[in-house]
Homo-oligomer: A and B are copies of this chain.
Amino acid sequence: MTVSTFTPDFSNDEYETRTSNAQKAMQDEGLDALFFTTEAEVRYFTGFRTLFWQSPTRPWFLIVPRKGKPIAVIPLIGAHLMQTTWLDDIRTFSAPHPTDDGVALLKDALASYNNIGMLMGRESCLRMPLRDFERLRDALPGSQFTDATALVQRLRMIKSEAEIAHLREICAIGSRAFDKAPALFYEGQTLEDVFRAFRIELLQQGAEDVPYLVGGAGPEGYLDVISPPTSQRLQRGDVLMLDTGASKRGYFCDFDRNFSVGAPNETVQRSHQKLVEAISEATKVARPGKTCADIYSAMARYLNQSNSDVGRSGHGLGMQLTEAPSLTDFDHTLLEEGMVLTLEPSLDLGDGKMMVHEENIVIRQGTPEFLSKPASPDIYVIER
């Protein structure tokens, strides 16, 4: 048969190491298998990457046993692509199926395990019909399903150098696009056109996809940071913020930049400078052995504000736009070398307005490595 030209984003070693690390942790925690339904985890252990997850019709499953290679239980339409991965045991069902989208196959695959870990905690979802999950649980009366969220997050939090190389590349793409941005934007431009121009620039700079692009604009600050673009036009005196999660080989950048339309007034310039300085403060404490809460506190202290609306001032970054851990006052995760984080301090400017700034770093021995090209304290200016 003709052979696919797709190859997973890493060599087999990477997936073997991930699996073996998971298996060590499973042993420590008395888990016999891990059971996954979500894109990031299926890809993490196999290299199976496709946008087909956009379609909610078909569930996809992966089992990581305590010994041996993972087992895929997937719709037949994915068999060819899964065969490009390091897996040997690929079990398929025709989907959508009149009566059984994989439950019988799962039951067989999981029957010999007593203690099955799965994602049940913070940041997780169940990407299969709840009714099918309950059916599966009822069909396995000898097995218990245990929350393994912490175990999986601990593994995924520490990036390998191969992962960091992918992240460095997409962050460089984002940085180059932001460097070009002042030339793409102009007074009177609608936000819809601003967003479109920036998406195109990201693609031209080498991004494969731009799953996330949000932002806002307003005089001396913007109202929120999650709205889609409108026909609102950039006006002299506006601060424009764009926050992008572009991706390449399934890894994300996630940082933003602020732009002043015309020369900034003193308030705008001062706010921007404070945010950049808050990030400098964060990088002074972002060291192995410190905690997420330490980074959060360093920024909150410098800005003399806590981030109640946004809820945190940064998070993990990798195969997903946001990953564990969170930079909050209650996340006491110990920082370790290889963690990739966003630093995202925000300033409440009153009257509902705010300003946010974001960079991407790797925790290293000593000073963290910046993946995004750090913004200067002087806000970018749109001259046209």
Contact = CB atoms under 8 A, between A and B. Distances in A.
- Name which of A147, A228, A232, A322 has the most chain B CB atoms within 10 A of its CB: A228
Interface in A1-24: 1-2, 4-7
B121 A77 contact: no
A348 to B, nearest CB: 12
A120 B125 contact: no
Contacts of A352: 1-2, 80
5 smallest CB-CB distances across A and B, nearest first, come from A98-B330, A55-B322, A5-B232, A52-B226, A120-B131
Contacts of A78: 226
Interface residues of A, number: 91
Given A81-B227, A96-B311, A125 B129 contact: yes
A97 to B, nearest CB: 8
A94 interface: yes
Contact of A5 (B52, B119, B230): B230
Contacts of A129: 119-125, 149
14 contacts: A2-B223, A4-B224, A54-B245, A55-B320, A56-B320, A57-B322, A77-B224, A77-B311, A96-B312, A120-B129, A124-B129, A129-B149, A200-B200, A211-B211
Contacts of A378: none
Nearest to A229: B208
A204 interface: yes
Interface in A223-274: 223-232, 245
A353 to B, nearest CB: 7
A136 interface: no
A311 B208 CA distance: 28
A125 to B, nearest CB: 5
Interface stretch (A175-183, A212-220, A362-370): A212-220
A77 B6 CA distance: 39
Contacts of A55: 212, 320-322
